[in-house]
A = this chain, B = another copy of it.
Amino acid sequence: MKLTNKSLYSQARDAILNIIDNSTEFMAKLPSEQELSERLGVSRNTIREALKSLENEGFIAPRHGVGTFIIRDSKNIKSNIAVLDSFTKIITNHGYTPGTKSLYHDRRTVPEDLTSKLNINEDSDVLYIDRIRTADGKPVIYVEDYITYIDGMMERFNSIKTESIFEFLKSYDIKISFSSCNIYAVISNEKLQKKLSLKEPKALLHLEQVHYSTKGIPIMYSDSYFLSNKFDFNLVRKVID
C-alpha cells in the first residue's frame, strides 16, 4: 500500500528543512545523523541522502567528527540560480506580483546556430515565443524561447492559456528536468531597451539556456534578460578537491 507519492528521503528532507527554517541562532547545530534517524524513524542512510541534498543546495555544512551546521535558511533566499524555477516563482519570491505584458509566437525554421544545441536538422521547425514578464506591472524580464516543433503545436499554444511554458510542454508529456546555462552581463541595446521600456542603457543579466527533458533530450533554447537591480540571484560555490 502506498501512503505517499514522495520518497522517504524526500520526506526526511522536508522535515529537516523545517528544523532549519525554525532555527534562530547563527550556525546552529543540527541533531546528529543518529538522532535524526531515530526521531524520524528512517535509516541513517536515508538521513544522509536527505542531508546530502540539503548540502548541495547550500543550507548546511557538515563537519567531520563534529556535527552538521545550519549556514542559511530557505526563508531568506529569494532565488537560488542553481534551481530551475519558473519566472513566475522567481518574481513571486522577490515579493512582486508577476504578470505578462506581451506575448508573440510563430513557427519558423530553426536558426542555424541552434541546430547543434537542440540536436535537430537544419530544416526543422521551432516554435518561437517572445515574452515580456512584469513585476507589479513593470517589465523586468525579456525572454525568447525556441522549442523543437511538434505537430499541431501552434494551434495548441493558441488554445491553451497558460503563462508557463513548462506547463504547456507537459501537455505533450514532456517534463523539463534541467538546463545547461551560460551566464553573461550585458548592457541593454536598443531592442532590449524597447522591450523592457528602458529610457537609458541598463545592466542586464543574460541567461542563455538549453533545457532538457527528463529523458535528457534537448527541448528548448532560451535567451532571458533580467533587470539585474530587481533580482537577487544566489548560489553556493564549492571547492572540489
> Which residues of A in the span 187-212 have a Cβ within 8 Å of any Cβ on B?
187, 201-206, 209, 212
Would A236 and B187 count as touching, CB distance under 8 A?
no
Would A184 and B209 count as touching, CB distance under 8 A?
no
Would A71 and B203 count as touching, CB distance under 8 A?
no
Partner of A232, one of B27, B58, B182: B182
Would B119 and A83 count as touching, CB distance under 8 A?
no
**Which chain B residue has the least Cβ–Cβ distance from A200?**
B187
Would B183 and A203 count as touching, CB distance under 8 A?
no
Pick from A186, A233, A237, A238 the residue with the most CB of B within 10 Å.
A237
Would A71 and B180 count as touching, CB distance under 8 A?
yes
Interface 1/0 per residue, A29-64 and B, CB below 8 Å: 000000000000000000000001000101001010
Contact partners of A119 in chain B: CB under 8 A:
26-27
Output the least CB separation between A62 and chain B (Å): 8
Interface 1/0 per residue, A153-175 and B, CB below 8 Å: 00000000000000000000001
Output the least CB separation between A81 and chain B (Å): 6
A239 at the interface (CB under 8 A from B): yes
A94 at the interface (CB under 8 A from B): no
A124 at the interface (CB under 8 A from B): no
Contact partners of A186 in chain B: CB under 8 A:
185, 203, 228
Contact partners of A179 in chain B: CB under 8 A:
236-237
Would A214 and B63 count as touching, CB distance under 8 A?
yes
Would B216 and A61 count as touching, CB distance under 8 A?
yes
CA distance A119 to B229 in the complex (A): 26
CA distance A210 to B63 in the complex (A): 18
Would A82 and B82 count as touching, CB distance under 8 A?
yes
A84 at the interface (CB under 8 A from B): yes
Output the least CB separation between A91 and chain B (Å): 17
30 contacting pairs across A/B (C-beta < 8 A): A10-B241, A56-B56, A58-B180, A63-B216, A69-B216, A71-B180, A71-B216, A81-B183, A82-B236, A82-B237, A83-B237, A83-B238, A84-B240, A178-B236, A178-B237, A178-B238, A180-B234, A182-B233, A182-B235, A183-B205, A183-B235, A184-B185, A184-B228, A185-B186, A185-B204, A185-B226, A187-B187, A187-B201, A203-B204, A235-B235
